[in-house]
């Protein structure tokens, strides 16, 4: 070994046995460890060639199960698809490597997985049916056959939106919390150990490194050696990376769930340790803070980032104290409720309340705005009446136009465009008869154009005509009517961007006018502040 390398024989053997990427990266920079690894691999290859079914025909039966094909294999065992006769069903049959000559360490891990799965009956955890030993000494167990994709592959190929990814993570947290309540710590949580079935539900597998915390069985099934790293380094908590079994508890799984959540949200890992030497990777996990998710995706700033970083706290006491607490904050985020991971001041709670009732507040705000606009129209008309510049009949007509416009705006706010069209036209007819109220008529044309384009049977040509008339009026009243002008431009941009009126050149011209308008309205405005509450 080099002077700076203190990789033990046991750590090297374990890393080679698991094909650990961090050990492979370490070997690239350590010639003496490569020499030791070559000798160890020769021994491993010798054992594997004698014990692995790849060198022998597919077994016809294992126990009472008819074997159909090999599903996969790992460092500890080989998994086959088999058929159970009574009841008739497809199962996964896992056989420990080494056959009747299996070493004590592998057998201990295998037996722990059997004991662990026997404790757990949860829809998101693969169920075990039977465990046994064949006549020729092979240890095996049969469990639920899960057909599906690995978690990271599933979210990538299905292009899952963020909300669905969070729902998946919440279900995984619920299942892990169930295991924790029954004295089981998984210790190897990662996307490759979580399958998503055809219905989109998770199944957690591979409890081979699990630790049972029940005092009656912990002595025989803890399976942890001081100083030995077990699991996949990228998903390990700092206490697991240090190899201290006394520090490992349910919060270690919470940390791994935090890494899984981080990856679900960013498609990256919080630490880039796969190419680091083993000891450097452990140092990074134990000492360096993770990259903030918002540096990868700014939309994660706020509550989501707070949730992830709390799950990834170095100190166990600062993390979520259970998988249930992590699941609760994810649920709170999805329901726009204040999360427990941050201090809930009054402004934060009020902001969350408004978001939970966004439809109500939007409708109420629109209603108040419409009432205010109608009142303004009517007040001006009454003042004109008192001054003797209008007749009483004109005042009544103007009031009717304001009411029709208000009703139309309400329907439009609710998306009921077919119902909004008629009152808009009524308002326009009255205003045209009265004359002299061009600004109000232009606003009604704008609303009519929007609903003609958005109703179930759109009339894009008629919508374009109304919008262009309104836009021309707004342009001549800048900057007083720039808000209405921008709304008309945005509606025209949608018309020219799709459908029968699709025209890239006109869409580009409208978009450019929008940009010029923004620069004219806010030439020196500072950037909009980012909401720290998410």
Domain ranges of the chain: 9-50, 52-145, 149-354, 357-521
């808009």: which residue's tokens? 424
Is the Cα torsion angle 430, 363, 347, 527 positive or negative in sign? negative
Candidate list 174, 188, 206, 253, residue with the active-site label: 188
Q: Other C-beta atoms within 10 Å of 533: how many?
A: 20
Distance between CA 284 and CA 41 in Å, rounded? Answer: 28
Distance between CA 135 and CA 137 in Å, rounded? Answer: 5
Distance between CA 417 and CA 411 in Å, rounded? Answer: 7
Which residue from 375, 354, 455, 365 is spatially nearest to 410, judged by alpha carbons? 365
Q: Are 62 and 85 in contact (CB under 8 A)?
A: no
Would you give per-residue pLDDT tens digits along the chain (534 residues)? 444 466 776 677 667 666 666 777 777 778 778 877 777 666 555 544 444 444 456 888 888 899 999 988 766 678 899 999 888 999 999 887 655 556 676 777 777 778 888 888 899 998 888 888 887 778 888 988 988 899 999 999 999 999 999 999 999 999 999 999 988 898 889 999 999 999 999 999 888 777 777 554 443 344 444 444 556 788 999 998 888 778 889 999 999 999 999 999 999 999 877 666 778 888 889 988 999 999 999 999 889 999 999 999 999 988 999 999 999 999 999 988 888 887 545 555 555 555 555 555 555 665 566 666 666 655 666 666 555 555 567 777 877 888 888 888 888 877 888 888 999 999 999 988 888 888 889 999 999 999 998 888 888 999 999 999 999 999 988 888 888 898 899 889 889 887 888 888 898 899 888 888 877 655 444 444 444 444
Distance between CA 449 and CA 470 in Å, rounded? Answer: 9
CATH 1.10.540.10 given to domain 149-354: no
**Can you read off the two tokens belonging to residue 243?**
């190899």
Residue 256 confidence (pLDDT)? 96
The dotted CATH code for 357-521 is 1.25.40
The dotted CATH code for 52-145 is 3.30.200.20
Q: Is 188 a catalytic residue?
A: yes
Distance between CA 234 and CA 397 in Å, rounded? Answer: 73
Q: CB burial class (10 A; 0-12, 13-18, 19+) of residue 136?
A: exposed
Residue 45 confidence (pLDDT)? 56
Alpha carbon 357 to its chain centroid, in Å, reads 23
Which residue from 119, 138, 116, 78 is spatially nearest to 223, judged by alpha carbons? 116
Residue 294 confidence (pLDDT)? 92
**Can you read off the two tokens belonging to residue 322?**
């259970």
Residue 35 confidence (pLDDT)? 79
Residue 376 confidence (pLDDT)? 60
Distance between CA 448 and CA 228 in Å, rounded? Answer: 72
Rg (alpha carbons) of the chain, rounded to whole number: 33
């Amino acid at each position: 070994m080099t002077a700076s390398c203190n990789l033990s024989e046991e750590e090297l053997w374990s890393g080679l046995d698991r094909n650990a990427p961090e050990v492979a990266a370490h070997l690239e920079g350590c010639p003496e460890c490569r020499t030791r690894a070559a000798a160890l691999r020769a021994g491993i290859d010798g054992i594997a060639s004698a014990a692995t079914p790849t060198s022998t025909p597919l077994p016809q039966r294992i126990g009472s199960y008819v074997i159909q094909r090999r599903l996969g294999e790992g460092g500890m065992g080989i998994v086959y698809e088999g058929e159970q006769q009574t009841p008739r069903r497809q199962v996964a049959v896992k056989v420990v490597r080494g056959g009747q000559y299996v070493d004590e360490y592998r057998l201990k891990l295998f037996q722990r997985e059997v004991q662990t799965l026997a404790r757990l009956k949860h829809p998101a955890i693969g169920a075990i049916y039977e465990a046994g030993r064949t006549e020729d000494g092979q240890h095996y167990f049969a469990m639920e056959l899960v057909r599906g994709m690995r978690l990271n592959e599933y979210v990538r190929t299905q292009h899952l939106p963020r909300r669905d990814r969070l729902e998946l993570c919440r279900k995984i947290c619920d299942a892990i919390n169930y295991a924790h309540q029954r004295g089981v710590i998984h210790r190897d949580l990662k996307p490759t150990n979580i399958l998503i079935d055809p219905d989109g539900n998770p199944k957690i597998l591979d409890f081979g490194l699990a630790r049972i915390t029940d005092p009656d069985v912990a002595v025989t099934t803890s399976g942890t050696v001081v100083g030995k790293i077990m699991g996949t380094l990228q998903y390990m908590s700092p206490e697991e990376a240090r190899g201290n079994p006394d520090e490992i508890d349910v919060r270690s799984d919470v940390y791994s769930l935090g890494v899984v959540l981080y990856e679900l949200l960013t498609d990256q890992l919080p630490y880039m340790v796969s190419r680091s030497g083993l000891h450097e990777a452990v140092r990074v996990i134990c000492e360096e803070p993770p990259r903030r998710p918002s540096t990868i995706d700014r939309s994660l700033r706020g509550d989501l980032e707070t949730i992830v970083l709390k799950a990834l706290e170095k100190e166990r006491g600062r993390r979520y104290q259970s998988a249930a607490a992590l699941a609760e904050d994810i649920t709170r985020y999805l329901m726009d409720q204040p999360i427990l991971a941050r201090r809930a001041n009054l402004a934060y709670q009020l902001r969350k309340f408004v978001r939970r009732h966004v439809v109500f507040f939007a409708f109420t705000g629109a209603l108040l705005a419409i009432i205010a606009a109608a009142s303004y129209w009517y007040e001006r008309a009454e003042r004109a009446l008192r001054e003797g510049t209008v007749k009483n009949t004109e005042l009544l007509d103007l009031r009717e136009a304001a009411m029709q416009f208000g009703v139309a705006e309400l329907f439009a706010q609710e998306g009921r465009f077919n119902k909004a069209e008629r009152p808009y036209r009524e308002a326009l007819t009255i205003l045209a008869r009265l004359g002299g109220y061009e600004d109000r008529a232009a606003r009604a044309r704008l609303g009519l154009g929007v609903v003609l384009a958005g109703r179930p049977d759109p009339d894009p040509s008629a919508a374009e005509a109304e919008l262009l008339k309104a836009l021309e009026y707004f342009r001549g009243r800048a900057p007083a009517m720039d808000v209405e002008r921008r709304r008309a431009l945005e509606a025209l941009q949608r018309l020219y961007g799709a459908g029968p009126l699709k025209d890239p050149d006109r869409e580009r011209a409208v978009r450019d006018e929008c940009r010029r308008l923004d620069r004219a309205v806010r030439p020196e405005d500072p950037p909009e502040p980012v909401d720290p509450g998410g």
